[in-house]
Amino acid sequence: MSLLIFAMAFILYANTLGHQYALDDDLITRGNRYVQEGFKGLPSIFSKGFLHGFNGSNDQSYRPIVLANMAIEVGIFGNNPGVHHFFNVLFFALCCCCIYWMMTLFFQQRQSLIPLLTALLFAAHPIHTEVVANIKSRDELLCLLFMLLAIISLFKHIQSNKKAWLPISICCFLIAVMAKEIGLALLAIIPVALYLFSEKSIKSIGGIGAIFGGATVLYFILRMMVMDTITFDQEMDLINNSLVGAESTSSRIASTIAILGKYIGKLVFPHPLSFDYSYNQIPNVGFGHWSVWIAILLYLALFLGAIYSLLKKQLPSLAIVWFVSTLFLVSNVPTMVGASFAERFMFSPSLGFCMLVAFGSWQLMQKLGAKQVVRNSLLLCSLLLVIYSAKTIQRNAAWKNNVSLFETDIQTATNSARAHNHLASAYRIQAESNPKMIPTKRKQLLDKAIVHYQKALAIYSNYVEAGYNLGICYQQLGMIDKARKAYEDVIVYAPENDKALVNLGGIYYQQNQPLKALETFETVTKINPQSASAFANIGAVHYTLNNIPKAIANYTRALEIDPNNRNANLNMSRIYQSKGDQEKAAFYGKRVK
């Protein structure tokens, strides 16, 4: 059975093995300096926050297991997306096997079909495609894998009475939470699992829970020692989490409830799927909206079902606790997270759903008095398995690369500003990355990028990234007036955006407005005193105004910040050449790249 489950899981995702990097994969691969150091980066990985190697931020999350895993892969295989995808599929297949092993320990050869059906349903469910096909979601895979291993080890300890299994279980628990914080859900899952499937007394269960509680305290102590703060140090961005834009607390609560209901809907009917559900794909609602009350009724039913099945000591109580506890930390209920809704958030909770479907089909066949319960239960689930498997294989294809993913999902995420921005950027990067591209082809890509940047801004007018990149596209097409307008719009919403200001100053300079350009560049140096390009541009303005001493002073400052700044080196070489100082002219000329 384990071989069957492993083979099915691996085959379903085999078409991702040739995929490239996509979406936010760079966060834990090419864009993470500690991962790029391979084995040498491991000390930094364990002594810094999750994002520190990517953007220098030492807050929010502590997930060293994921980055260490990626650093080892890079150290051995280099930057090879195929290798990363292979290990994603491998870890997923192992998760499916662990589900089967865990549940066979629960039932101890009784109702042996339920563990098999649960594992197969989990392997086939399309909601998992984002996690398995997206390298960055290695955190979800490793977290669930070690959660399962923690439970398996704990039940091995109980059933064999071998003490060595308990510290193994605790170590697996700590690895799980250091892969992703969702592992903390085991604090609720383990007591329920012990109550249902062991002979342990309430007192003994409490004692085991206390041991895992102590391990949790150890984790938080380590987390506080490593990170500057264990919370977000910045306000949540509306573009990522649409709940930020709720008009009132009541609307935010109602919208959160409606989204929780949407999670159940996606589990039951996983279509259409999308990489993005950000602003304004899921509009905020009030308590008068039907989706809020459907969600309330669904979760009330889950609560009552959990109580009923707990009293009868049946699997559904564990399934519901698993679903709710693993969803809780990313539900925007205890605290706002980086997304209002995401399919990856359903990876671990979906196991509870698969348990319920497997148990429900078994119970249904028994109540119908079916003569062959096993065969009929299999037949009942087989149609679902076939449909889910076909959807999974089809969905995997979309994750081949950024263009494929964004072009596919823009058809369903039509109201998402970020989805339009991502597709536009994919087109723009294609146009910029190939200098030998046919001009007409390059123009077509930039034109398509402009269309989607404009759609992103139509949805969210304050979208600074989209506005800035729109200006870049206009500049590359020689549409200077439109580029100027795009940058000026960005400055209205983000007056300290130094990149937009630098480009805007360059346009003023190009349009023969040197004083306005000078004012703009000087504003940049106040915002960012380390902006080499701003000082180089100030030097260029002074050079145009024939103020050579000030030009030299600003070029020198630019080169102090960035010795390889091309414009500063080139113009310094020209200045000294005009002065007849060939030695200095040659010195700066050699540094021009």
Q: Are residues 346 and 206 in the same domain?
A: yes
Q: Are residues 385 and 528 in the same domain?
A: no
Compute the mean pLDDT over every residue in the chain, rounded to the nearest whole number: 94
Domain containing 342 equals: 2-30+79-397
Position 423 in a domain: no
pTM above threshold 0.85: yes
Cβ 275 vs Cβ 405: under 8 Å = yes
DSSP symbols for 150-188? HHHHHHHHHHH--TTHHHHHHHHHHHHHTT-GGGGGHHH
Q: What is the pLDDT of residues 514-530, one digit of tens each?
A: 999 999 999 999 999 99
Share of residues in the chain with pLDDT > 70 (%)? 98
Position 48 in a domain: no
Check residue 374 and give its pLDDT: 67
Q: Are residues 532 and 388 in the same domain?
A: no
Position 382 in a domain: yes
Query: What CATH code is carried by the domain that includes residue 571?
Result: 1.25.40.10
**Domains of the chain: total:** 2
Check residue 13 and give its pLDDT: 98
Lookup: tokens for 152: 């398996």
Segment among 224-238, 291-305, 402-416 with least mean pLDDT: 224-238
Position 386 in a domain: yes
Tell how far CA 325 is from the center of its chain: 20
Q: What is the pLDDT of residues 281-292, one digit of tens each?
A: 999 999 999 999
Q: What is the DSSP letter of 39?
A: G
Query: Per residue in 13-30, is it b (16+ CB within 10 Å) or e — as a string?
Result: bebbeebebbbebebbbe
Domain's final residue, options 370, 397, 424: 397
Helix axes 113-124, 81-107, angle to 10 degrees: 160
Q: Whole-angstrom distance between the N-terminal and C-terminal Cα of the chain? A: 61
Q: Are residues 160 and 19 in the same domain?
A: yes
Position 98 in a domain: yes
Q: What is the pLDDT of residues 86-133, one digit of tens each?
A: 999 999 999 999 999 999 999 987 777 899 999 999 999 999 999 999
Q: Which of 341, 317, 322 is CA-nearest to residue 331?
A: 341
Q: Are residues 390 and 525 in the same domain?
A: no
**Residue 589: is its pLDDT beyond 70?**
yes
**Residue 370: is its pLDDT beyond 90?**
no
Instruction: Find the mean pLDDT for residues 317-339.
Output: 95
Domain's final residue, options 351, 380, 397: 397
Position 522 in a domain: yes
Query: Per residue in 211-226, is it b (16+ CB within 10 Å) or e — as a string?
Result: bbeebbeebeeebeeb
**Residue 495: is its pLDDT beyond 70?**
yes
Instruction: Find the mean pLDDT for residues 205-226.
Output: 96
Instruction: Find the mean pLDDT for residues 259-279.
Output: 97
Cβ atoms within 10 Å of 479's Cβ, excluding its own: 16
Position 256 in a domain: yes
Distance CA 363, CA 263 (A): 25
Instruction: Find the mean pLDDT for residues 246-261.
Output: 96
Domain's final residue, options 376, 397, 418: 397
Check residue 233 and give its pLDDT: 45
Q: Are residues 393 and 538 in the same domain?
A: no
Distance CA 319, CA 118 (A): 11
Helix axes 113-124, 373-398, angle to 10 degrees: 20
Position 304 in a domain: yes
Run of H or E residues at 534: helix 532-544
